[in-house]
Structure 1
């Protein structure tokens, strides 16, 4: 690469001059672009923050817009004997509940046999509840083989098998997986070893059918635990049973889980069902909190004073419009009956002098107690025309895809992209301008240098002419 030295001929600082001329055009342009980009970026950030606040405000009302959240039921009375839960279908009332018995699994144990002994040949037809499955037993099969065949059967989902070993030998133990009388275990044996399907020898030692009227009657296994249903008595005279310890809808909308049998000296359990409209208070408190945060943000973004400075959206119609739209919803009326309307203030929502909201809990409680259906309809409406749905429409006009705020942000981003493209073009023009100036100044510098050389030459020639006296 060749070396270039500018200004040698003329003695001028060509690079400094060119830099100064180029910067005199670049600096104002770059300052203006930087200022505009910063303004657009600040606007995007401010509008994005406003959008987030509006979305949070709208989300705070979600629970109030769902019909299923209203007029729920609370149930009390959980103790050592029962646990309770309720659904909306439950009616306000009180009930006494006594646990008479708990549900239990069926458990059978076979007579002991020496370890590793073959126990017979044939087929075991085992059933529990609606599940039935067969186990084929070979002549060489031991208790271990039968246990594994039962547990590994793809058709078995009702009985588990294990082996207990004591001083007399190994015992096969069968247990139903589900509780209740309906899940009692029955075993019918096809004993091909001795052709007797009900005696206590060979494979029929496992026969168990406790129905005396049955042709397969046999009780060759010992019943350790009887299959049993749970039983409760409601209000001292209404008896109910369940194959599990859970009683669903014995009382409409109520689930009772029996945990312990009431003894003679135990106090009877009591269930109390009450109406629960706590969602209204919780939902309004959340809404008020988010609304007040929104007001604080709007004041910060829109401030304009010597003391506090100027906010990013001071005097902006978007900010002003969003605040006005939200505030207008607070005074809008909505149907609570076919011929009556209410607005938010009648439900205890108060507007303070600061512009923020507060909740009069006593006024809200009174409104709910007077007519819970009216309170529900105010928020949910009919066919999405309640307070929550209309508020959602207003907010999403700003925050939804393609809404006012997104359009504003897209416009600002487009301006930033345009400025970036213009800066690239401008820098290219400045590079050409700098190159042109350097060429011009270098040409001038060369010309001046040549003129100086010519002058020096003429001076030297004149000095050698006869009669020219040199000054010493």
Structure 2
């Protein structure tokens, strides 16, 4: 007969503090760290460091996103030049406000991040308006401020709710613009419908005029034929 022992809780000690858990996968003892217990051991040394490569990728992607969004807005907002037509949002106040807010994300200090700005992480704006990222500038950021940098990126991306300075908050500004475009589209559609009605009326009027002209020409021919007959009769009589 085989005796199977009852399962026991996992017992461990971290920095001299004892703890027990009902599973060998533990997520709630060290913030941001998952422990997987494989076997009994007298002591294990764990070390952790921030993933600076992930932070660099996040900042770089964010800068690329800002640059792409501003480039798209620039194309939509362009004025007509020669044979090149104006953009769909040329002169639109909301589109201009969105562009200014996107540009402002580079220099706005975030209080929750200790006043840190995207510019402090290596994001800059060229005279042409292009937004770029300098990895060397981020690498020079003191390690003590990396946590602030992470808070900054969460805030600006909108992961931390309630921030007016975030991509999500700025995206919300586009809703009225979309509604405005819809109204403009509806207005153009209605105007086109009116033009089509006027065009149909004009065609009908022309048709009537042409019909009248045809009748007039026919009548003229008839009168001409009658006169010709009379003239011939006069000629015979004379």
- Are the counterparts in 2 of residues 303 and 314 from structure 1 also a CA contact under 8 Å? no
Q: What's 1:361 paired with?
A: 135
Matched, 1:288 2:66: no
Q: Quick one: distance in 2 between partners of 1:456 and 1:304?
A: 64
- Are the counterparts in 2 of residues 348 and 364 from structure 1 also a CA contact under 8 Å? yes
Q: Quick one: distance in 2 between partners of 1:332 and 1:241?
A: 46
Q: Give CA deviations for 1:192-238 in whole Å, capped at 9, x if unaligned.
A: xxxxxxxxxxxxxxxxxxxxxxxxxxxxxx32x63464797868x99
Q: What's 1:456 paired with?
A: 228
Equivalences for 1:110-121 in 2 at 5 Å?
A: none
Equivalences for 1:73-152 in 2 at 5 Å?
A: none
Q: What's 2:162 paired with?
A: 384
Equivalences for 1:149-228 in 2 at 5 Å?
A: 222-223=1-2, 226-227=4-5
Instruction: Give the unaligned 5+ runs of structure 1.
Output: 1-221
Q: What's 1:335 paired with?
A: 111
Runs of 4+ in 1 over 6 A off after TM superposition: 230-233, 237-243, 303-306
Distance verdict in 2 for CA 1:317–1:334, change over 3 Å:
same
Give the secondary structure class of the aligned counterpart of 1:374: helix
Q: What's 1:345 paired with?
A: 119
Using the TM superposition, give the Cα deviation of residue 418 of structure 1 relative to its aligned residue in structure 2, in angstroms.
2.1
Q: Quick one: distance in 2 between partners of 1:460 and 1:250?
A: 120
Using the TM superposition, give the Cα deviation of residue 311 of structure 1 relative to its aligned residue in structure 2, in angstroms.
5.1
Using the TM superposition, give the Cα deviation of residue 455 of structure 1 relative to its aligned residue in structure 2, in angstroms.
2.1
Q: Quick one: distance in 2 between partners of 1:329 and 1:286?
A: 14
Q: Give the structure-2-normalised TM-score.
A: 0.69
Q: Quick one: distance in 2 between partners of 1:323 and 1:270?
A: 53
Q: What's 1:202 paired with?
A: none
Higher-Rg member (1/2) = 1
Distance verdict in 2 for CA 1:457–1:299, change over 3 Å:
same
Q: What's 1:297 paired with?
A: 72
- Are the counterparts in 2 of residues 291 and 356 from structure 1 also a CA contact under 8 Å? no
Q: Quick one: distance in 1 between partners of 2:108 and 2:19?
A: 52
Using the TM superposition, give the Cα deviation of residue 411 of structure 1 relative to its aligned residue in structure 2, in angstroms.
3.2
Matched, 1:255 2:38: no
Using the TM superposition, give the Cα deviation of residue 448 of structure 1 relative to its aligned residue in structure 2, in angstroms.
1.4
Q: Give the structure-1-normalised TM-score.
A: 0.39
Using the TM superposition, give the Cα deviation of residue 288 of structure 1 relative to its aligned residue in structure 2, in angstroms.
0.8
Q: Give CA deviations for 1:110-147 in whole Å, capped at 9, x if unaligned.
A: xxxxxxxxxxxxxxxxxxxxxxxxxxxxxxxxxxxxxx
Give the secondary structure class of the aligned counterpart of 1:358: strand
Matched, 1:411 2:183: yes
Instruction: Give the unaligned 5+ runs of structure 2.
Output: none
Q: Quick one: distance in 1 between partners of 2:164 and 2:209?
A: 72
Distance verdict in 2 for CA 1:251–1:321, change over 3 Å:
closer
Give the secondary structure class of the aligned counterpart of 2:69: helix
Distance verdict in 2 for CA 1:412–1:378, change over 3 Å:
same
Matched, 1:316 2:88: no
**Larger proportion of helix:** 2
Using the TM superposition, give the Cα deviation of residue 409 of structure 1 relative to its aligned residue in structure 2, in angstroms.
0.8
- Are the counterparts in 1 of residues 11 and 21 from structure 2 also a CA contact under 8 Å? no
Distance verdict in 2 for CA 1:329–1:461, change over 3 Å:
same
**Larger proportion of strand:** 1
Aligned pairs, number: 226
- Are the counterparts in 1 of residues 12 and 20 from structure 2 also a CA contact under 8 Å? no
Distance verdict in 2 for CA 1:351–1:461, change over 3 Å:
closer
Q: Quick one: distance in 2 between partners of 1:282 and 1:343?
A: 17
Structure with more contact order per residue of length (Cα contacts < 8 Å, sep ≥ 6): 1
